Structure 1
Amino acid sequence: MRRTGAQIVWEMLEHEGVEVVFGFPGGRIMDVHHHYPDYSVRHILVRHEQGAAHAADAYARVSGKVGTVIVTSGPGATNVVTGIATAMMDSSPMVCITGQV
């Protein structure tokens, strides 16, 4: 069976041991969001992309695991910049996936 890129994203997250993803769905990342119920990675829906980035940073600090964010392109991608910068300055492990940037 052929897999989509969206399915491969979730498979790789599972393979790397990611347990939680913070995100906000939007146009260019909807294919990825449609598949999250099919995988063991828990998706936490946030109200704003910036909140997703800060939540992922906090998760990484508390758990010692990689904080992961999935947001849409454009404003979704720019809204996570502050959280990414905070994580980088404090050496928190974070992965941020955005749609078609």
Structure 2
Amino acid sequence: MASDLMNKMESMSGAKALMKAMEKEGVKQVFGLPGGANLPMYDEFSRCDIRHILVRHEQSAAHMADGFGRVSRKPGVCFATS
């Protein structure tokens, strides 16, 4: 019975699961810098309504996400590389 359920379940990447979770939480934009380990997440941006704001440095992304969250009272999200 459990194997039947597993066969019917949709396969989902971690990147897709993350985007779905962020959309569910009301995230509208993400501040970040693509590279290495987070590239699969960037591939998912084209399939969702979350806007990516490109920064030139990871610290800038963190400060922008923090400031956005404080001012808007909405989730401020930062993507950084490994």
After TM superposition, the score normalised by the length of structure 2 is 0.83
Aligned residue-pair number: 73
Question: Which of 40, 57, 68 pairs up with 2:49?
Answer: 40
Structure 2: 5+ residue stretches without partners: 1-9
Secondary structure class of the residue paired with 2:61? helix
Runs of 4+ in 1 over 3 A off after TM superposition: none
Q: Which amino acid aligns with 2:61?
A: A
RMSD: 0.9
Greater relative contact order (CA < 8 Å, ≥ 6 in sequence): 2
After TM superposition, the score normalised by the length of structure 1 is 0.68
Aligned identity (percent) is 45
Report the structure, 1 or 2, having the larger strand content: 1
Instruction: List per-residue Cα deviations over 1:8-55 (Å, max 9, x = no partner).
Output: 110000011111110100101111111111111111111110000000
Q: 1:63 offset after TM fit, Å?
A: 0.6
Structure 1: 5+ residue stretches without partners: 74-101
